[in-house]
Structure 1
Amino acid sequence: MPDTMRGVYTNLTKIRRQVFREVARAAYLAGDVNPDWADRLPYEILPGDKATYRESIFIERAIVGARIRLAMGLNLLPVDEPNKISDGLKEAERPEAYYEPPLVNIIKFACHACPENSYKVTDQCQGCLAHPCQEVCPKDAISFVNHRAHIDQDKCIKCGRCAGVCPYSAIVHRNRPCAAACGMHCIGSDEQGRADIDYDRCVSCGQCLINCPFGAIADKSQIFQVIKAIKSGAEVIAAVAPAFVGQYGGRGDVGKLREMFEILGFSGVEEVAIGADLCTVQEAEDFLEEVPDKLPFMATSCCPAWASMAKKEFPDNANCISMALTPMTLTARFLREQHPDAKIVFVGPCSAKKLEAMRTSVRSEVDFVLTFEEVAGMMEALEVDYTALPKPDDNDFGAASADGRGFAVSGGVANAVVNAVKRMEPDREVNVFAAEGLDECRKMMRDAVKGKYPGYLIEGMACPGGCVAGAGTLQGIKKSQAQVKAYMKRSPRKNATENGYRMQLPELLAMGRDEPDDAPVPPRNERRVPAPEELRETLSVETVEEPVEQ
């Protein structure tokens, strides 16, 4: 299903941003958490006594209240007993607090109970003489009543043939938008017809939450905890995903980006494309070593939603999914070499990264995950106008390659790995197949298992269009893809193998490779591997110096 609302500023977008803004503002301005502000927030966001969006102002405020709790990383409250938005608020105050599953939540009383997968005859039916819909139906589910087609839903198998042959386009396919967008097909209905998520299947890709036009689905956030960490005086570094280009305006203005994060209170900022370069090198080396002698094919792993789906549904071939560490994790390890006590915040387009960061093997590296939209809420809280910031002195991070930055768009990961393989073994031919969207990824994986792609490198992206289409992005997909490609050209390095930091990869991997979710993780200080001095001197992350008292 196409993401028809992406890039359109709707009433739902407005409310979502208001919630992020107010939660961020409270975190910046408040000392100890005062429960009163949380209980008052819905009245500030939706003042007055008249409903604007739903049938009742009370329903509207209840929905906003639920979204406030999720934005603070708290669980939804039961609706069948007395409670307040502020219940358990102290749990969110701790800087080290991490949200409990589930990550993606359905606010049940906000759900419209949209109809499930079905075909319906509309008023456009002319009761034509030919009756082609009836002729092609394989289950005799269509009859004519009062010269109008009628579909027996008990017989209908949802094949869609009737809709395909109707000369008046009078038969339409109805499906709830969240379910249609879910590539895992894990959204069904509860006993009241409201959407319900099968969390055993969900991979937190976030497509449901951006396709629900009623705002009934939201994921938990760590805005509050990140700001509390900043206010505690801790060193907090932002690791920004390659899809950042254009998200806040501009065309990848790195100087503006640095200044913006400094205003928000971060100690420094680095591009995750460095980790993408390291991931590229690791996957290229693994491909050369393992395919086809040890593995029939190898699949990329940087998209956590795609990798999780492939491992869930094809467990016998899970070893074909690359065990390379993701760019987020490698960048975090890379930064900790210079800043061992820092809080690392991944800032990107993806809700599935939040799920990845909850894994035991990643949580010790990445402290927090924020989406671009959540950071936009922080900007609004402090009234930061990105486009009005002074013209940047530097317009490039200067470290990552063009191929590493290309991870943000569909096909970019495979392209980077292929280019790295060609540098390592120029005579090696690498066949590639890429898919975007979990339905297409599933088909690709099914074909690969059957032997259709022998010796191939296959790339999966859960979001159609790549990371630039993630649930936490702020602008249209095609515009983002074009801006990322333009930013790629500004790198002085074309290939990931040209990045000098690849020398550090063995040391970063010595801390451990990708592990199962329940694998024990040793403390950071037991895994610390000092970086070479020459790399320490050239580390590009900038930190904000405290003023010296005269």
Structure 2
Amino acid sequence: MARRFETTVQLLRHEVLVEVARMAMSGTVERDKEMIPYVVVQGKRARFRCCVYKERAVVKQRVELACGIGVDGTEACKSGELIQVLETGCDECPVDRFTVTEACRGCISHPCMESCPVDAIIQINRRAYINQEKCIECGRCHSACPYDAIADTQRPCIRACPVNAIDFGEDKIARIKKDKCIYCGLCALRCPFGAIADVSCIIQVVEALKKKDEAPVHVVLAPSIVAQFEDLSMEQIHGALIKLGFAAVHEAALGADMILAEEAEEVVEKVREGSFLTSSCCPAFVQIIRKHFPELEDNISTSVSPMIAVGRYVKKHHPDAVTVFIGPCIAKKMEARQSDRNDAIDYAITFEEMLALFVASDIEPAECTPVPLEQSSVFGRAFARCGGVGEAVAQAVKEYNLPLEVTPVKCDGAAECVKALRMAKAGRPPGNFIEGMACVNGCVGGPSSFNHKAKAKRMVDEHSKKAILKTITEATSILK
């Protein structure tokens, strides 16, 4: 199926995933995977880097990640090291954050020198000069210069990370600090060289589909899928997944409806105690709290995410089923492996991996027989965009006649999440329910979406309004 990609990095990831999926389907991965770099990078002229040899070396590392093998040769799918740096692909970006440019006029007031708290700036030949050994990267010189002559050239991966989980060693290659990483995937999304990538379990999913007669494979599909294919209906996407070999497709949005009664009661109890509640559906947001604001961990909602709720529902009614979550999120791969939740989802893959499976199988969704949707509520489907969770909790409190006026605050992106949590830590929570979404615009802005257009959020709202069931209680009643 023909498709335009937002970036060349996205295209390269797609090409690798398609080749790995094809080999997995034919059972030739171990025999032929060494050929993939030559399939993706053909000829003698490099497309992106200095030479074809470097390009093929990077593709080789990508192939290993697509096969579930980490850069250190271990089975990363099992170890949980789900985001890794491709050392061959890292361009070793400049590490000196602040530098003086040609725009420096050598003025006589020296605001840059006066603002520096460690005397790291001197004048040489009437030009400012930063002693990088002294510089503490506070940025005061950058702010003080009236000519904007001091450039802030922070690495894209470091700038993207909201929790300072990336640094670099003497070799200048980026490193991910595991104790700080929240698995949001923003570094992978923002790296212009595609040198940070997530580990795939696409081979395991293909193997499960091969054995579908022994154990049916069920999909739990994230509602943000509606924004990925502008020219397809949800029914056509469902039809394509069924043609791929899945036994059934379940909307993760129905899981949102399942958990809202519990979450509504929980926020009432927290407010009664003089406290507040945070959402728990975004695993990256939950990791922000657990790793960076541990004193607020008791404020996290104890309800599971919609993905886990639907996964457990499927396992309850189909004990032999294999469950596969498909969404825009790298952090969901981490959540599916957590010891207290690994009974729900066997494999989590992304929309990019789903697209690769379609292409590898020569499936054109537009030509597939439409399959009707499961019915979730307007509010369950709105979980896919920022603000939807808070609105749904407020609605649930209203529907279940609970004695509370919910004052939700939405945190649009990890930076806003950190800001709200700092306020809460200081005893000034911005609302009695804090909805945290690590990705800007919510799940539709996830790192493994292949459509980050501004109208993606609107497409989620339009899909939500099409729901036949207008209330949460209507949606949950069909499960009884």
Place the TM-score, normalised by the shorter chain, in its bin: over 0.9
Q: Could you tell me how far apart the structure 2 residues matched to 1:501 and 1:325 are?
A: 19
**Residues 1:432 and 2:425 aligned together:** no
Residue of 243, 255, 268 corresponding to 1:263:
243
Deviation at 1:34, TM superposition (A): 5.5
How far did 1:150 drift? 1.5
TM-score, normalization by structure 2: 0.93
| Contact 1:448 1:454 (8 Å CA) reproduced | yes
**Contact 2:168 2:175 survives alignment (8 Å):** yes
- 1:99 to 1:295, Cα distance in 2 relative to 1, 3 A: farther
- The answer to whether structure 1 residue 283 and structure 2 residue 263 are counterparts is yes
- Give the C-alpha shift of residue 498 in structure 1: 2.8
Correspondences of 1:439-518 after superposition (within 5 Å): 439-453=415-429, 456-501=432-477
- Say whether the 8 Å CA contact 2:238–2:371 is kept in structure 1: no
The answer to whether the aligner puts 1:47 opposite 2:42 as a matched pair is yes
Q: Deviations over 1:277-318 (max 9, x none)?
A: 112222112112x22234611111111111122022222331
Deviations 1:190-231 (A, max 9, x none): 221110111122121111111111121111111111011101
Q: Which amino acid aligns with 1:76?
A: V
Give runs of ≥4 in structure 1 deviating > 6 Å: none
Task: Point out the more displaced range, 436-445 or 481-490.
Answer: 436-445
Deviates more, 1:489-498 or 1:221-230: 489-498
- How far 1:138 sits from its partner (Å)? 3.8
Count of aligned residue pairs for this structure pair: 475
The aligned residue for residue 172 of structure 1 is 151
Structure 2 residue aligned with 1:317: 296
Partner of residue 399, structure 2: 423
**Matched-pair contact (CA < 8 Å) for 1:357–1:366:** yes
Residue number in structure 2 paired with 1:21:
18
Q: Deviations over 1:348-377 (max 9, x none)?
A: 010000000111222221011010011111
- 1:149 and 2:144 are equivalent in the alignment: no
Distance in 2 of aligned mates of 1:418 and 1:268: 31
Matched residue type, 1:39: E
Matched, 1:120 2:99: yes
Specify the alignment match of 1:236 in structure 2.
Answer: 217
Shift of 1:455: 7.0
Q: Is residue 167 of structure 2 the alignment partner of residue 181 of structure 1?
A: no
Q: Residue 37 of structure 1 corresponds to which residue in structure 2?
A: 32
Q: Which residue of 2 aligns with 1:519?
A: none
1:407/1:413 contact within 8 Å kept: yes
**Structure 2 unaligned blocks of 5 or more:** none
Amino acid aligned to 1:211: R
CA-CA distance at 1:494 after TM superposition: 3.0
Aligned-partner SS, 2:147: coil
Q: Is the 8 A contact 2:5 2:450 kept in 1?
A: no
Secondary structure of the residue aligned to 2:455 is helix
TM-score of the pair, normalised by structure 1? 0.81
Q: CA deviation at 1:245?
A: 0.7
Closer, same or farther in 2 for the Cα pair 1:329/1:430, shift >3 Å?
A: same
Question: Within 5 Å, which residues of 2 pair with 1:401-420?
Answer: 401-420=377-396
Q: What are the residue-to-residue correspondences of 1:243-254 with 2, within 5 Å?
A: 243-250=224-231, 253-254=233-234
Distance 2:22 2:57 in 1: 20
Match of 2:180 among 198, 201, 204: 201
Range 421-430 or range 224-233, more displaced: 421-430
Indicate the SS of the match to 1:458. Answer: strand
Q: 1:23 is matched by which residue type in structure 2?
A: V
User: Could you tell me which residue of structure 2 aligns to residue 10 of structure 1?
Assistant: 7
What is the CA-CA distance between 1:51 and the residue it aligns to? 2.5
Contact 2:409 2:430 in 1 (8 A): no
SS at match of 1:499: helix
Matched, 1:218 2:197: yes
Q: Which runs of 5+ in 1 are unaligned?
A: 1-6, 79-87, 92-96, 505-534, 536-550
Rounded to whole Å, the distance in 1 between the matches of 2:134 and 2:472 is 56
1:242 & 1:353 partners in 2: Cα distance? 14
Q: Is the 8 A contact 2:423 2:430 kept in 1?
A: no
Deviation at 1:427, TM superposition (A): 5.2
* Aligned partners of 2:261 and 2:400 also within 8 Å: no
Q: Judge conservation of contact 2:257–2:476 (CA < 8 Å) in 1.
A: no
Whether the 8 Å CA contact 1:205–1:351 is kept in 2: the answer is yes
Q: Distance in 2 between matches of 1:465 and 1:477?
A: 10
Return the match for 1:63 from 58, 61, 72: 58
SS at structure 2 position matched to 1:108:
coil
CA offset at residue 166 of structure 1?
3.1
Q: Does 1:161 align with 2:140?
A: yes
TM-aligned CA distance change 1:113 to 1:483, over 3 Å: same
Indicate conservation of the 8 Å contact 1:465/1:477, yes or no.
no
* One-letter amino acid matched to 1:489: K
Distance 1:142 1:495 in 2: 62
Distance 2:376 2:371 in 1: 18
Q: Aligned-pair distance for 1:118?
A: 1.7
User: How far apart in 2 are the matches of 1:34 and 1:398?
Assistant: 35
State the secondary structure of the residue aligned to 2:88. helix
Find the aligned partners of 1:127 and 1:385 in 2 and give their Cα distance.
62
1:365 pairs with 336, 344, 362, which one?
344
Q: Identity, % of aligned pairs?
A: 38
Q: Quote the residue 1:83 is aligned against.
A: none
Q: Summarize deviations over 1:227-261 as a string: whole Å, max 9, x none.
A: 1110123311111011111313336x122012110
Alignment check: 8 A CA contact 2:240 2:368 kept? no
- Inter-partner Cα distance in structure 2 for 1:454 and 1:443: 10
Deviations 1:45-72 (A, max 9, x none): 1122333222232221111111111111
Look up the equivalent residue of 1:19 and give its one-letter code.
Answer: V
Residue 144 of structure 1: how far off its partner (Å) = 2.4
Distance in 1 (alpha carbons) for counterparts of 2:173 and 2:246: 41
